[in-house]
Chains A and B, each alone.
Chain A
Amino acid sequence: MLALLVAQNIAFYIIAALMVVGALRVVTCKNLMHAALWLVLVLAGAAAQYILLASEFVAITQVLVYLGAIIVLFLFGIMLTRAKTGTDDDLDNKKSAKFIGGGIAVLLLGLMGYSLIDGFKDTEFGNLMVQRTSQVSDSIFSTYLLPFEVLSILLLAALIGAIVLARRD
């Protein structure tokens, strides 16, 4: 291991531990609001990991989209709808659902672990280069132009669909 990356490794493990604790609390919490707030910790941790990987654009997008918009939408939704805002003992899933969820989690772990190990083998990152935002935008608007446009249209369709579903008249 390169001496340069020691500090980053330590930071990675601290943040990762916080994220795991947060993620466990999200699913075990009896209070819907608390679960949403623990999710903030997990998503902020993900943003911090992106910064450790020297991709600031992705990190800031994570903050803007997930923390600034999606979490706020969650909290907003919980407060506006008639969901119980206090502690709720029925919040847990049935036993059968738990087993299915656990199975899927193990499957995902195996799949992603295998693809990561297989994909990178013994590659060391060496000196991390800061990923400039201009590089990101250049690649989006040249190499990945078609997927980008297709995604945009997909999102637009979802947006219009949401409006159509929500409108009463």
Chain B
Amino acid sequence: MRNLFLEWVHTRMSFNKSRAFLVAMLLWVGAFSQPMADQIQVVAITQDFASIAQEIGGDLVEVQPLIKGSRNLHHVTPRPSMVMKVKRADLLIRLGMGQDSWIDGLIQVARNARVFPGEHGYLDASVPIRKLEIPDHDLDGSMGDVHQHGNPHYWLDPYNGVLIAAQIRDHLSQLSPENRSEFEANYQRFSTELERKAKVWNDQLLAVKSQIFITYHKVWSYFFEAFNLTSIGELEPLPGIAPSIRHLSALKEQVSELQGPFVVLMADYYPAPAGRGFAKQIDARFVSAAPHVGEGDIDHYFDLFDTLVQAVLK
């Protein structure tokens, strides 16, 4: 075998060039300058939280998400570029519930004391949420990837959106007390509109309240509870475990004992063929939808539910 790599790297480094290392570092520092910002810098884990933060902060904040679009939050790989966002942040909004422990690593490397846990700039948005599916027994891997602190997809209940907004209002007010009244006014406007729209979505979903939902993973539990929809199971036999023929057969058996119509609803980051195939077997409607802002035409937290409701109603 030819040593291609060594041949390619034929240009050897000199040990007398240690100083060049330091000079390069100094040039690197001098080549850039840090932009100054007057707005409160807000960094949110996803565009869902970023969208709410933008509503509450208005022109007084600049908001950046760490993750854009529809992503399975169980499989996020943190990147150094995310550190830069956290480093500049005045307020960091995280999902919490043990589902974003990778953010701890970003905080550790960014070393921005403004967003250390316990500071005004640190917001675990899950704290006041009434969590669903908190295990009442000890956990181990035989139960799949069960979340110790409950189901973390709580932003999919619009009433939780109001709770998230209230916390953002409080933290922004602590960071910028002189603008407290503006944050409060923005919050009142946002929460009033969200509650009004939630009633509209509820009325629209009356058309499918008799339908039975089956999902791939327990992504939609908060959405179902908010709008009183019925779900009987998941294609995954256990959380995080891929569907098996045996489990799907049992689920099909369970479905055969119920009166439909049925809807197979899947987050768009799960493999659609699995859901579409099962929907065909049980003569159900198949719906693939984004559970996050930033996907397709979903630019805003309101759009998320507008789009989701329309997808479910089709």
- A and B held together in a complex: no
Interface set of A (CB-CB < 8 Å, partner B): none
Interface set of B (CB-CB < 8 Å, partner A): none
